[in-house]
Amino acid sequence: MTAKATAQHWIGENMPRLSEWHRHIWELAEPAWREHRSAAWYVERLRSEGFSVEAGSAGMPTAFAAEWESPAGPGPTLLTYAEYDAVPGNCQAATTYPEPRDGLSSHAPGHTDPHSALGISTLAGLLGTKHAMEVHGISGTLRYTGEPAEKVQGSKVVHGLRGYYDGVDAIVSFHPFYMLPLCNTARWDTQCGAYYSRVYTFVCDEPETWQLSASDAVNPNSPIPASHSAARAPGANVALMAMYTSSRVMQDAMLPSFGGWSLSDAILAHGQATADNLPARVASIQYSWRCPNLEMAEHVLAVLDRNAEHAAAMAHCRLETTWVARNRPGRTNHVLAAALYANLECVGAPGYGPEAVDAARKIQASLGIEPMDRPFLEECERLIAPQDAEAALREHLAPWQKNWTSDDYVEMTHYAPTVRFYVSRPALKPAAGRGPYPAWVMNALGGIPAAIDPTISVAGRTIAGTFIDLLTRPELLDDARAEFDRRTAEDPQPPLLPADFMPPTELPWPDYRREADGSRSWQP
C-alpha cells in the first residue's frame, strides 16, 4: 500500500470517530474569542495523538499551536489549521425544520459555514498523514494551529506576527464551500482581499464639564452638582448614534459602487443602560470592511475615523479606537494549487447517500416545496478545475480587480507558499419561483452526519494526499518556494499591525454563561 493509500485508508476507517468529533464541536457552537471548550477539546485530542501542544498560543486564550516530528528525522515542515468559532443568531438543531438546539434561544450561536467541519476535516488530513509517516518512515514535521475568531478575522495575523508560521515550507488552507463557482476546487489567481475591523468606543467620563453653570442656575444652594433638572451632557449613546447614522449616510460616498466591497457594523453591549437622568458613560460600535485592495480599505478607514472624531466631539465624549483585524490581500501559488487539485481529482467530489437525500427532501417538504429526486445542487457533486473556476469567477469582476471577498488565511500567504481549497458542503437546489432557502436550512444540514460527513472525508483525504506529495517530492516544494519568492519580490507587503499587537479579547463579545446544572445560557 502506498503512503497516500495508507493515509486515506486511516481516514476511512476512522470516519465514525471523526463524525462524532465533528458533532461535538458543532453542538458547542462557541462564538468568536469565547471558544474555550472547543479549543480545550482540540488541545486534549492532539496531545493524546502524540503532538506537543501550546495552549493559548501568542497570548490568545482560545488559540493553540501543535507540532509533531517524525521519528524518521527532519524533513519538510507542513502546516494546516482548525477553526471552530460559531455565529450569533444562528442557533439551529440538526433537524429538518427550524428549531434551536435544546435549551437555547434561536439568537444563540450556531455553525453556519460550518467551521466545525473545517476543523475536523483538517484534523482528519493531519492525523491520516501522521499515520502514513509512521508506517512508511517518512521524515518531516507537521504543525497544526488553532485559529479562533475567524468571523472577525482575529487570530492568523497575530500568529503570523509572533512567528508561528516561520520556518514552514507549505500551508494548506481549507474551507467548506460558500459560493459558486468555488466549489470542489482550489483558488487560482483571485485570492481573498483586505479586511479591516476596528472598534470605536465613546467615553463620557466628564459629564459635569458639559455646562459648568447649570447647577447654580437651577439651585445655587444644591449640594448635588448634577441636578435632575439641569442640562446634561449628550453622552456616549448620542455619540454612537451620530457615528452610526453619519457612516450609513456616507457609505455611498466612501467608495465607488463596484469591486465587491462591503461595510458592516455591530453595536457591542457594555451594560451601561440607565433608568436615571444621567448620560450614558460608554458605548462601542465595531465596523468591519472588505475591500479588493489596501488603497480602498485605507480610504474607508479615513472616513470612519473622521466620522468618529466629530461624533465624539458633538456628544462631549472622548474617543478610543481598537483594532480587531487588519489583513493584507492574499498571495497565490499556482504550484501548490495544481498539486492539491490533482489530489482532489483522485479523491473525487462528495456524494450524498439515501439518508442525506431523505433529510434534504424532508427539509423541502417542511418548506412547502415539492421534494426533488435529486435535491442537492449539482455543483456539490462535481469537480471544477481551478482555471475553469477562475474564468467563471472573473466574468463577474472588474478587469482591474485582483481580489474578492475576505478570509484571514490571506495573512498566511505572506509567510509561506499557501494553497486555498474548497470542498462542497450540502446545499439544496433552489425551487422555481421560491428564491433562496432560509439560513437555517444549510445550518441544519451542517449538523446532520449523513449530509456533512462527505465533506470531512473528501477534504481530509485531499489534505493527506497533498501532504504526502509535499513530504516525498522535494522538487514540488522547491518550485512552490521559487514561485512564492518571485511573487513576494514583485509585490512586497509588510504587516499592517505592529509586532506586539494583541487582539482585543477583553471586549464584550457575545458569550455563553455556564449554569450550576451544567446547562448554557446565552448572553445577551
pLDDT band at 213 (very low <50, low <70, confident <90, very high): low
The pLDDT score that the predictor gives to residue 260 is 82
Distance CA 460, CA 176 (A): 12
30 closest CA partner among 90, 93, 85: 85
Write the DSSP string, 406-431. --THHHHTTTS-EEEEEE----BPPP
pLDDT tens-digit readout, 65-94: 999 999 999 999 999 999 999 999 999 999
pLDDT tens-digit readout, 86-123: 999 999 999 999 999 998 999 999 999 999 999 999 99
Length of the chain: 524
What DSSP state is assigned to residue 87?
B
Asked whether the predicted pLDDT for residue 216 surpasses 60, the reply is no
Q: Strands across the sheet with 170-176, in order?
A: 52-55, 64-69, 141-146, 77-82, 170-176, 418-423, 185-186
Q: Which of 18-22, 281-285, 359-363 shows the lowest per-residue confidence on average (mean pLDDT)? A: 281-285
> For residue 387, how many other CB atoms are within 10 A of its CB?
16
pLDDT tens-digit readout, 429-467: 999 988 899 999 999 999 999 999 999 999 999 999 999
Which stretch of DSSP H or E encloses residue 248? helix 236-254
Which stretch of DSSP H or E encloses residue 5? helix 3-13
Distance CA 229, CA 160 (A): 55
pLDDT band at 233 (very low <50, low <70, confident <90, very high): confident
Phi, psi angles (nearest 5°) of residue 485: -65, -40
pLDDT tens-digit readout, 127-144: 999 999 999 999 999 999
Place of cell 468606543: 201
- Could you tell me the three cell numbers for 130? 501522521
How many CA atoms, within 13 angstroms, populate the side-chain half-sphere of residue 119? 32
- Could you tell me the three cell numbers for 463? 489534505
- CATH class of domain segment(s) 196-212+229-327: alpha beta
- Could you tell me the three cell numbers for 448? 446532520
Asked whether the predicted pLDDT for residue 275 surpasses 60, the reply is no
The pLDDT score that the predictor gives to residue 520 is 84
287 closest CA partner among 205, 204, 203, 201: 201
DSSP, collapsed to helix, strand or coil, labels residue 18 as: helix
pLDDT tens-digit readout, 483-496: 999 999 999 999 99
Average pLDDT, rounded, for the chain? 93
The pLDDT score that the predictor gives to residue 257 is 77
| Cβ density class 44-73: b for 16+ within 10 Å, e for less | eebeebebebebebbebbbbbbbbbbbeee
Distance CA 473, CA 339 (A): 11
pLDDT band at 202 (very low <50, low <70, confident <90, very high): very high
Distance CA 262, CA 392 (A): 22
pLDDT band at 352 (very low <50, low <70, confident <90, very high): very high
The pLDDT score that the predictor gives to residue 259 is 74
Contact present, 357 and 364 (Cβ < 8 Å): no
The pLDDT score that the predictor gives to residue 116 is 98
- Could you tell me the three cell numbers for 100? 434551536
pTM of the model: 0.94
pLDDT band at 239 (very low <50, low <70, confident <90, very high): very high
Distance CA 518, CA 510 (A): 19
Asked whether the predicted pLDDT for residue 258 surpasses 90, the reply is no
Domain ranges of the chain: 3-192+329-514, 196-212+229-327
What DSSP state is assigned to residue 345?
H
Residues above pLDDT 70, as percent of the chain:
95
pLDDT tens-digit readout, 356-395: 999 999 999 999 999 999 999 999 999 999 999 999 999 9
> For residue 274, how many other CB atoms are within 10 A of its CB?
11
Place of cell 458569550: 511
Fold of 3-192+329-514: Aminopeptidase (3.40.630)
Distance CA 54, CA 65 (A): 5
pLDDT band at 279 (very low <50, low <70, confident <90, very high): confident
* CB neighbour class for 302 (10 Å; exposed up to 12, middle 13-18, buried from 19): exposed
Contact present, 143 and 51 (Cβ < 8 Å): no
The pLDDT score that the predictor gives to residue 274 is 59
Asked whether the predicted pLDDT for residue 225 surpasses 90, the reply is no
Beta-carbon contacts of 311 under 8 Å, excluding residues fewer than 6 positions away, are: 202, 239, 240, 242, 243, 246, 317
Angle between helices 236-254 and 294-314 (to 10 degrees): 150
pLDDT band at 273 (very low <50, low <70, confident <90, very high): low
Residue range 334-341: mean pLDDT, rounded = 98
281 against 423, higher pLDDT: 423
The pLDDT score that the predictor gives to residue 223 is 57
Asked whether the predicted pLDDT for residue 228 surpasses 80, the reply is no
Identify residue 479 by its one-letter amino acid code: D
- Could you tell me the three cell numbers for 205? 467620563
Asked whether the predicted pLDDT for residue 326 surpasses 70, the reply is yes
Place of cell 497533498: 466
164 closest CA partner among 285, 24, 53: 53
Identify residue 501 by its one-letter amino acid code: F
> For residue 264, how many other CB atoms are within 10 A of its CB?
10
- Could you tell me the three cell numbers for 457? 472525508
- Could you tell me the three cell numbers for 4? 497516500
Phi, psi angles (nearest 5°) of residue 512: -95, 155
| Cβ density class 168-204: b for 16+ within 10 Å, e for less | bbbbbbbbbbeeebbbbbbbbebbbbbbbbbbbbbbb
Contact present, 230 and 445 (Cβ < 8 Å): no
pLDDT tens-digit readout, 145-188: 999 999 999 999 999 999 999 999 999 999 999 999 999 999 99
